[in-house]
Structure 1
């Protein structure tokens, strides 16, 4: 059973975290909690959207669902794409460059780890800055798709203030007039290159994540409540190999009882302090 550490014993928690990870090759699994300090809410915390995320079956089988999705995604994209990496992202990038971290497995779709400087990133659930044609397989940059949406729907309100969701979507009431984007190669159906609810993580993507855990000596889980099956499977892989598992997350997670240390605190500060205590302060400052 893990020792659960709250803010009252924050310093002791950091000491324990450093002691467990020092000298080890660390694989990192991140969730929505890593990006909250960048202005992107998580699914359950304060400011999180209460709407139901898009289901793959609805998206594939209903034009109305595709209209609703692209209307909300288009309005949310401006705010979502303006988000900047925070101290946690930057600290992870610094520790990777210092050879402490093997790589990051991200359950997020915001691309902030790469923008912070991390080079070995497995986007477990894809990335919103890519759009794929479901008919011919052509991949597009999101910028071009957004331009097509704006040209075809100049009436669509781009509000200055929106309630953003972790997947970049927002709630839209009037969407029936929207003309959804189409593939400029074959006129097929476009879908963001992310895993919707009801979809499976692509086997090759999961294999890359599992390979990263296999090469590591420890697993650090940051900002994830581990409610998604793919995250639990990676935790179980580490547990079967008897790797030390440490969790940094506000609130309970499904992995608390299987970790050797649970630190209940914000990820940005903890990861920044971890980088400094592991001796990568100069590199961290260079990246910032």
Structure 2
């Protein structure tokens, strides 16, 4: 057994009540690009800010045009071996709660039952005025129906259902309003500049308080919304392990770091626990 896998196995078996936090590296094996490089720096322009989305009509049209193209891939992604391994670990009773920074819903699709989607879910759309919820696939059908002249366009896939569509006159793109009140529709996710709903944070902290150690899977922890739980665990003296390719914001806090792909490391781990 490779040393990293043995060390990860020892960590998991020594701490039977884990708090698990996952990030984009967990889903790259499903074909979803990530935002950051191995040093934790942005690979591309940062995501749209909430106020820009709400206040700038052309920016909002650009967002939905790119999203219409990106959903062709993102709407059909499937869990990979990392998601399946984590579902297996939950079934074995090895962790109390999985908190994910991802918005792809792949942990649930893999069979994990107890998940806090910290930043929401991309497969839902919400009205910013009345709170009406609808499936993202329904929004996709509306967008395609309203913009038939855009259906032939293709672009490179980008993180979280985005696509690198540029050079178009986005002012021509039609975005349907809320069917209930006419308000602005947005994905049911936490944009940069928004606050994570307090109930999600409270539930995560409550689980952390009952946990004996933390396992970080595929996150550089550069975003505070996830990093805060690792920082709290460190202050409480909890052991922290991370499976991540490249630097994390919490490297100095880690008890163990496994620099392998999440799918490879977790699949190998689960195989040792059979």
What is the TM-score when the length of structure 2 is the normalising length? 0.93
Mapped contact 1:49–1:163 kept (Cα < 8 A)? no
Give 1:151 deviation, angstroms: 1.1
Paired position in structure 1 for 2:88: 94
Are 1:31 and 2:23 an aligned pair? yes
* RMSD (CA atoms): 1.6
Structure 1 distance, partners of 2:199, 2:79, is 27
Structure 2 distance, partners of 1:203, 1:147, is 32
Paired position in structure 2 for 1:163: 156
Aligned residues: 268
Mapped contact 2:231–2:250 kept (Cα < 8 A)? no
Mapped contact 1:49–1:164 kept (Cα < 8 A)? no
The structure-2 alpha-carbon separation of the partners of 1:69 and 1:246, relative to structure 1 and needing over 3 Å to count, comes to: same
Structure 2 distance, partners of 1:246, 1:52, is 27
Structure 2 distance, partners of 1:44, 1:241, is 28
The structure-2 alpha-carbon separation of the partners of 1:158 and 1:265, relative to structure 1 and needing over 3 Å to count, comes to: farther
Give 1:143 deviation, angstroms: 1.3
2:59 to 51, 57, 65: 65
Paired position in structure 2 for 1:266: 261
Show CA shifts across 1:66-100 (max 9, x none): 10100001110111111110000000001111111
Structure 2 distance, partners of 1:159, 1:259, is 45
Mapped contact 1:245–1:260 kept (Cα < 8 A)? yes
Are 1:210 and 2:205 an aligned pair? yes
Mapped contact 1:87–1:268 kept (Cα < 8 A)? yes
Structure 2 distance, partners of 1:158, 1:91, is 38
Matches within 5 A, 1:216-231: 216-231=211-226
Structure 2 distance, partners of 1:156, 1:182, is 19
Structure 2 distance, partners of 1:28, 1:90, is 14
Paired position in structure 2 for 1:191: 186
Are 1:52 and 2:53 an aligned pair? no
Unaligned runs of at least 5 residues, structure 1: 1-9, 280-288
Deviates more, 1:82-91 or 1:14-23: 14-23
Structure 2 distance, partners of 1:158, 1:98, is 47
Deviates more, 1:30-39 or 1:175-184: 175-184
Structure 2 distance, partners of 1:92, 1:172, is 34
Give 1:42 deviation, angstroms: 0.9
Paired position in structure 2 for 1:126: 120
Give 1:212 deviation, angstroms: 2.1
The DSSP-based 3-state class of the residue aligned with 2:107 is helix
